[in-house]
Amino acid sequence: MEAEAMALRVREASMGPHHDQHRQFPVHQDLPSPLQFKSCEYVFIDKRVYDLRLAERKKLLSEHFGYSNDNNPFGDRLLAEPFVWKKKNLLLQAAGKKHATTVNALLTTSVSKVQEIKNVKKRREEREAEEQLMQAQREELQREKEREHFQDYFEKEEVFHRQMHIRKTEIRAEQNREQPIDFIVKGLRMLNGERFEKVAVLPVPPHEVFDCFNKEPMSVQMIEEMLADVKLHIGVDTTAVDKDYQDFWQALLVLTKDALEKAERKRKVLEELRKNSSADAAAQAAAILANNTSVGDVRDADSGIAVGVTSDITAILSGKTPQELDALKDSIKVKLETEEDVDSAYWEAILQKIPLFRARAVCLVYHQRIQQKAAELDHQLKCERAEAEAELLKARAAESGLTDDLLATEEEAREQQKIQQMQEQAKRMARAVEKEINPGADGSYSPELEPYEDEAEAPKPRGPYSPVLYPFDEFRTETNILHPDEELEQRMAERRIAKHRERERRLIQLGLDKEKTTPEEEDDDEILDPAAKIVTYEDFVRKEQKNASPDEEVLAASSEMKLKQHYGWEEKYRPRKPRFFNRVRTCYFWNKYNQTHYDHDNPPPKIVQGYKFNIFYPDLIDKTKTPTWTLEPSDTPDTIIVRFHAGPPYEDVAFKVLNREWHLERFRGFRNVFDRGIMQLYFSFKKYWYRR
């Protein structure tokens, strides 16, 4: 009907107000311009009529299709003007095939075109709807893929947090600052068969730890952190601790939430008490905090019943197993459903408390299992330590049987060495004192012999040639007695003075200016008196660190080369690695390039200028053989290996150094000495300057 009405309006618009005077124009053709020729079978029409018909056509297009010359999907700015195919009309007229257009033909054509336009518009809308639906489906599929993709990230993030939590637990255990959750996780890992060096577990059941951790209640912040840690173990199947003990973690979650509620309630009560300092408020707060039954108005915050009744409920539920609590819960539910004359508030309060006490019972069962497992592991570790000590003693006994001629153990060797040193020091001091008191005690002259007055009297046995050691208080006060350490320092000072004078004498002979010449590095480790004591590793390191040069760095223990070598004396002596304290000397090389591109604020890279090796051999079996060192080829042409060999009981040690030519002059820092149990090898590299 709508199409027929539109066709009728098109027909009326084509007829116009002067229908009797003017000829009808076909609607399916373009409206002619105001001037047309007779050859086209159009007559001259008024421009006013043409404008009216054109306006009517625009109105119809806008009402039925929503199109206009400026707004249409075809981009046609002349959409309202009819299209006239002039050449075709001329051709049809010349061929005699052109027919006059009737009103019925116009109506049929208009209806068909309107219907076609509507069908096209409908198909376009359906196509757009399908496109939108497909786009929505594509977006939903993309979102689903992204959710799956991010789900992997969420799971990985959850696993990462779990691993970090385990690592955090291990770090706190290493630093002896464990939290309750650390003891709990450690105990569950023990139940799974893991072993620990420290078998300390939670000393009290989990539900009691909130009130007596480190002899004081846990704060709200600590309980919140523990609650977050407990939630990490629920629903995460990354470890057996979480997978096999979900019932324990669920029970611990209930206990932690209950403890957090109590702690927050206590904090609120204390805050209110600070604000209201009246006596009644103080008594009420004290009764709430201590569950004091003397205050009748105090009621339990969870159940709303009196505190005294709550204590009775606690007495009823305490000590029951999880199975007994489940049975009690079922019976109470049946009682409330079947019986009418019951105290519903009382029984509902019991029902409300049962989950908490069931969680306590579950945690208590696991706590007892953990305590038993910890005791077994502790006993097992003690037995293993005892067996290891017995094996060690047996090995030492077997070793001591092979070295009875030297010394049984290292401790005995050190004690014997200390005794010998003390005896030698005492002898030297006694000689010095005797020489001060009796000038003839050194044997320069002897007293004259006198005959015995009584020949029958047997001669008295003569003592050793060394004088008897007398107490210090019997010596004369003016006698200057030096301590062995003071004597050693005095000798060292004299040696340094002599060394400095010898150096000045050599410089004078060479004709060099001693003020302009770089002074030789002061070497405090020069050869000392053979009677001096062996320097220990700790004393040497302490002294070297005190006198360390800024151009020297300590070589790390990782610089040592791993040697695969077997010794013929391994069956008789236990091989050991000698201790060492090595340094590398570095400096800046100010050649022309570095002077151009660097300065003292931005220095060039340091280069290695030399090495200082200090190898300690305090317990050599054969002290008559001096340790030696050799150079061996390395795996790279730029480096070389320095191997130190000393003999039993020490293994060889080797270090990789730069393969450069050495300075072998003493005044350039070269040192190759074994003194007081220390093998010292110091050397510097030669510098090569570019010359044209």
Q: pLDDT tens, 559-601?
A: 566 665 655 555 556 778 888 888 898 888 888 888 889 998 8
- Spell out the residues 6+ positions from residue 306 whose beta carbon is closer than 8 angstroms to its own: 293, 296, 298, 299, 300
- pLDDT value of residue 125: 92
Share of the chain above pLDDT 70, in %: 65
Least confident of 18-27, 411-420, 428-437: 18-27
pLDDT higher than threshold 50 for residue 444: no
pLDDT of residue 509: 63
Predicted confidence (pLDDT) per residue in 498-507, tens digit: 888 887 777 6
Mean pLDDT of 627-640: 90
What does the pLDDT read at residue 476? Answer: 55
- Residue 598 CA to chain centroid, in angstroms? 38
pTM: 0.39
What percent of the chain has a predicted confidence (pLDDT) above 90?
9
**At residue 683, does pLDDT exceed 90?**
yes
Dihedral of CA 653/658/664/668: which sign?
negative
Reported for 340-348, long-range contacts at CB under 8 A and 24+ positions apart, including other chains, are: 345/303, 345/304, 345/305, 346/305, 346/309, 348/303
> What pLDDT is stored for residue 643 in this prediction?
92
- Residue 681's pLDDT is 93
Higher-confidence residue of 176 and 266: namely 266
Residues 389-409: tens digit of each pLDDT: 878 777 776 665 544 444 445
Question: Measured between alpha carbons, how far is residue 230 from residues 210, 248, 249, 254, 667 in Å?
Answer: 14, 10, 7, 10, 70
User: What pLDDT digit, counting tens, does each position of 344-363 carry?
Assistant: 788 888 888 888 888 888 88
Q: What is the DSSP letter of 85?
A: -
Confidence of residue 117 (pLDDT cuts 50, 70, 90): confident
Decide if 106 contacts 10 (C-beta within 8 A): yes
Residue 97: is its pLDDT beyond 70? yes
Does residue 613 surpass a pLDDT of 90? Answer: yes
d(CA 564, CA 571): 17
pLDDT band at 200 (very low <50, low <70, confident <90, very high): confident
pLDDT at 558 over 90: no
pLDDT at 495 > cutoff 70: yes
Give tens-digit pLDDT for 293-337: 434 444 555 555 655 677 777 777 887 888 888 888 888 888 788
Tell me which of 65-79, 187-201, 480-494 is least confident: 480-494
pLDDT in tens, 244-265: 788 888 888 888 888 888 888 8
DSSP for 393-451 reads: HHHHHHHHHH-TTT-SSHHHHHHHHHHHHHHHHHHHHHHHHHHHH-GGGGSSS-PPP--
Cis link prior to 648 (omega < 30° from 0)? no
Per-residue pLDDT band at 535 (split at 50, 70, 90) = low
Mean pLDDT of the chain: 73
**Residue 201 pLDDT grade (very low, low, confident, very high; cuts 50, 70, 90):** confident
Residue 336: exposure state from Cβ atoms within 10 A (0-12, 13-18, ≥19)? middle
Q: Supply angle C-alpha 51, 53, 55, rounded to 5.
A: 70
The Cα 654–Cα 665 span in angstroms is 24
Tens-place pLDDT, residues 178-193: 788 888 888 888 888 8
